[in-house]
């Protein structure tokens, strides 16, 4: 099976935007080992495009979470607390990373002085 | 000691340029690390040739963009990069900081000093990869680069903005020619007849000891004042070897843009091709002839196309390139040599047979050409060189016949004799480049039969004494000759008188 087809299969494993366990089990049965590996990678890639990780120094309130959710529409949001950011937020959306936190600013400050 | 106020001022200055705010970056995850090539997932916004940074601080350059992943070659030695590490784009294409500060320095292709001097912080960022100047901005080659080597200045003249290939087997004086040319620029720059020439010596894949020797010679002959050495030695990663000539030409372009003349030596491009072959093979690009990748021609043509003579409207600067290529057993028809011969504006071919028979520099006049340099030759040298070249060619033809030992008529044996003397005069020791006026005197004396009645083994000794004699007794003639214009009849008569006077002293 070629890669294009495996990618299509990965896309077809979703029902209403959610990964369907029944479909995946059915597909996996018929795949060879190498095909399975590629299928898994394609699924992983798809998952990462559908999930956004939001790290904050402090727990967010429901209002704030709502306003962030409205930005990302249908994507799954994962909120985590990361005290090491000191203050502010970091958003990881697939392979883009948005930083607006004190930790990153301090790091940039150190770089600017060392230059 | 700096006082505290000064330190605070410096800090304030640095901080004034710093702004705090949200930041975005494109990231990827390392999947595998094989042979210095990193394959990373993500990095969907990476550009070809963009610099990326790994989480341990190591840097790399994106060299392949595939559907799901990108291939990155490492600029630093970093064996500790593992699967799962994060890699970030920087938005920067590779470049090097160039300024006058670089003169006299030895740096690596990334701009780090290798000579224990201060780090290079200031300067204009010059891109390593750039499209060469177009047709409209250029003008024909019209000014000579004096090598100070009689055989080259007379028969294979090099002009500013030319690309002249130096080609031959290993260890027969290719680097020596390039080093002599750089050393000779000190004298030429002092004369102020033309604009000064800045020199850049790019060492690619050489032994560190060899590079150290060359730098030592530059220092000994005070050539470092106007020279930059870019070094990527045999122990550096192939990536640095690949980037070295581009770093060299980027620095050259900095000076050229200011209207200066630059001479750049790539020593040597064979090893550059090897480094690029290695990179291409580990990147799994399809291999072609001799396992070189398909774009090996473009690799060198885009580099040498950046040698240029700009017209006055565009500053009038120039970059003269002297690429060096090493052949195996005098084979000019191998892949890389033929590529380079077709790219350059001529070649200086070194023969190991000539070298072994004591003819040094071992330049094979028959196989060497300069396609544009003739226009740059000064009329003084031109007036004597044509005759000499013809005589040498006739001699080479006759010498083959004369080997059979048959009896020769008078004119033929005269020609043979003159030819032998010509060969003898063209010999020149290393690190002794000659000014144009003395080159002229030597060739003039030869073509006018001054050396005809002199034994062969005394020729070079007498030539040296003639130079001393002229310098001591007739400095005015030498001054007039170094102006470069064709000597008038009056001066020719003066030279004739001087030389015959010298002849009496023998």
Least CB–CB distance from B27: residue in A95, A100, A112: A95
List beta partners, residue B324. B166
| Predicted pLDDT at B16 | 84
Closest approach of B280 to chain A, Cα-based (Å): 25
User: What is residue B405's predicted lDDT score, i.e. its pLDDT?
Assistant: 64
Please give the Cα distance from A85 to B42 (Å, whole number). 24
> Which pLDDT score, from 0 to 100, does residue B366 have?
86
Confidence of residue A18 (pLDDT cuts 50, 70, 90): confident
Q: The dihedral of CA B49, B51, B54, B55: what is its sign?
A: negative
State whether residue B41 sits within 8 Å of chain A by CB.
yes
Domain ranges, ordered by start, for chain A? 3-49, 51-114
The alpha carbon torsion through B366, B368, B371, B377 (nearest 10 deg) reads: -90
Q: Which of B138, B285, B302, B371 is catalytic?
A: B371
Residues 6+ apart with CB under 8 A from B111: B96, B97, B120, B247
Q: Which domains does chain B possess?
A: 23-92 (2.40.30.20), 97-377 (3.40.50.300), 380-505 (1.20.150.20)
Q: Is the model's pLDDT at A114 over the cut of 90?
A: no
pLDDT of residue B439: 94
Chain B interface, best mutation among A2, A95, A99, by max B CB count within 10 A: A95
Q: What is the nearest CA distance from A37 to chain B, expressed in angstroms?
A: 14
Q: Which residues of A touch B18 (CB under 8 A)?
A: 108-109, 112
CA distance B166 to B267: 10
The complex scores an ipTM of: 0.84
Residue B350 is predicted with a pLDDT of 96
Contact B15 A112 (CB under 8 A): yes
Cβ separation B22–A97 shorter than 8 A: no
Residue spans of chain B under pLDDT 50: none
Determine if residue B453 is left, alpha or beta; phi over 0 gives left, psi from -120 to 50 gives alpha, anything else beta. Answer: alpha
**How far is CA B377 from its chain centroid?**
19
In this complex, do A108 and B18 lie within 8 Å of one another by their Cβ atoms? yes
3-state secondary structure B416-470: HHHHHHHHHHHCCCCCCCCCHHHHHHHHHHHHCCCCCCCCHHHHHHHHHHHHHHH
Q: Who contacts B418 (Cβ-Cβ below 8 Å, separation ≥6)?
A: B391, B395, B446, B449, B452
pLDDT of residue B87: 95
B68 contacts B41 by C-beta, under 8 angstroms: yes
Chain B: closest CA distance from residue A6 (Å): 14
Catalytic residue flag (residue B371): yes
E strands present in A39-82: 51-56, 76-81
Determine the pLDDT at residue A2.
85
Pairing of strands B86-93, B50-54: antiparallel
CA distance A57 to A98: 14
Handedness of CA A23, A25, A27, A33 (dihedral sign): positive
Residue of A nearest to B27 (CA): A95
- The verdict on pTM exceeding 0.80 is yes
C-alpha B32, offset from chain centre: 39
Both tokens of B42, joined, read 């993500």
How many Cα atoms within 13 Å fall on the side-chain side of residue B249? 28
Closest CA to B318 of B367, B263, B373: B263
- Beta-strand relationship, B346-349 and B165-168: parallel
Chain A CB within 8 Å of residue B114 CB:
no
Q: What's the CA gap between B276 and B270, in Å, rounded?
A: 10
Report the pLDDT value the prediction gives residue B291, as an integer from 0 to 100: 96
**Chain A, nearest residue to B69 by Cα:** A45
């Amino acid at each position: 099976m070629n890669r294009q087809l495996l990618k299509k299969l990965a896309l077809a494993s979703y029902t209403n935007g959610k990964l369907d366990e029944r479909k995946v089990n059915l597909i996996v049965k018929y795949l060879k080992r190498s095909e399975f590996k590629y299928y898994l990678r394609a699924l992983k890639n798809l998952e990462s495009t559908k999930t956004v990780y939001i790290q904050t120094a402090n727990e967010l309130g429901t209002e704030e979470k709502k306003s962030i959710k409205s930005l990302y529409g249908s994507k799954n949001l994962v909120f985590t607390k990361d005290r090491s950011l000191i203050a502010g937020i970091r958003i990881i959306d697939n392979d883009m990373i948005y930083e607006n936190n004190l930790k990153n600013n301090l790091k940039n400050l150190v770089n600017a002085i060392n230059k | 000691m700096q006082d505290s106020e000064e330190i605070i001022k410096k800090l304030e200055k640095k901080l004034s340029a710093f702004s705090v705010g949200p930041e975005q970056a494109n990231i990827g995850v390392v999947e595998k690390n094989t042979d210095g090539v990193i394959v990373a997932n993500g990095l969907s916004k990476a550009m070809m040739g963009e610099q990326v940074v790994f989480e341990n601080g190591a840097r790399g350059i994106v060299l392949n963009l595939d559907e799901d992943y990108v291939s990155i070659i490492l600029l630093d030695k970093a064996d500790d990069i593992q699967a799962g590490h994060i890699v970030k784009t920087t938005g920067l294409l590779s470049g090097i900081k160039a300024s006058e500060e670089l003169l006299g320095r030895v740096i690596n292709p990334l701009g780090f000093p290798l000579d224990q001097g201060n780090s290079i912080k200031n300067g204009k960022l010059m891109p390593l990869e750039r499209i060469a100047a177009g047709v409209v901005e250029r003008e024909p080659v019209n000014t000579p680069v004096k090598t100070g080597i009689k055989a080259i200045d007379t028969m294979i003249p090099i002009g500013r903005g030319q690309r002249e290939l130096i080609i031959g087997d290993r260890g027969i004086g290719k680097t020596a020619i390039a080093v002599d040319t750089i050393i000779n620029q000190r004298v030429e720059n002092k004369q102020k007849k033309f604009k000064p020439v800045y020199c850049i010596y790019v060492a690619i894949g050489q032994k560190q000891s060899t590079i150290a020797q060359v730098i030592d010679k530059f220092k000994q002959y005070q050539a470092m004042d106007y020279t930059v050495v870019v070094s990527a030695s045999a122990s550096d990663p192939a990536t640095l070897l690949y980037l070295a000539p581009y770093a060299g030409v980027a620095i050259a372009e900095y000076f050229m843009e200011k209207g200066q003349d630059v001479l750049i030596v790539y020593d040597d491009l064979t090893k550059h091709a090897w480094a690029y072959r290695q990179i291409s093979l580990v990147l799994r690009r399809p291999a072609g002839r001799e396992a070189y990748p398909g774009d090996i021609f473009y690799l060198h043509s885009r580099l040498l196309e950046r040698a240029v003579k700009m017209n006055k409207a565009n500053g009038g600067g120039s970059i003269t390139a002297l690429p060096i290529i090493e052949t195996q057993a005098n084979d000019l028809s191998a892949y890389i040599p033929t590529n380079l011969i077709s790219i350059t504006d001529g070649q200086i071919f070194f023969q190991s047979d000539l070298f072994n028979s004591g003819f040094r520099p071992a330049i094979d006049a028959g196989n060497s050409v300069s396609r544009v340099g003739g226009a740059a030759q000064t009329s003084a040298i031109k007036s004597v060189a044509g005759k000499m070249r013809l005589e040498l060619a006739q001699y080479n033809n006759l010498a083959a016949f004369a080997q059979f030992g048959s009896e020769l008529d008078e004119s033929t044996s005269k020609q043979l004799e003159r030819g032998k003397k010509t060969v003898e005069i063209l010999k020149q020791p290393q690190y002794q480049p000659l000014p144009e006026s003395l080159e002229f005197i030597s060739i003039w004396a030869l073509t006018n039969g001054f050396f005809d009645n002199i034994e062969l083994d005394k020729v070079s000794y007498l030539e040296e004494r003639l130079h001393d004699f002229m310098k001591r007794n007739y400095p005015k003639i030498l001054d007039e000759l170094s102006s470069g214009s064709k000597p008038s009849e009056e001066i020719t008569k003066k030279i004739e008188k001087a030389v015959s006077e010298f002849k009496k002293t023998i």
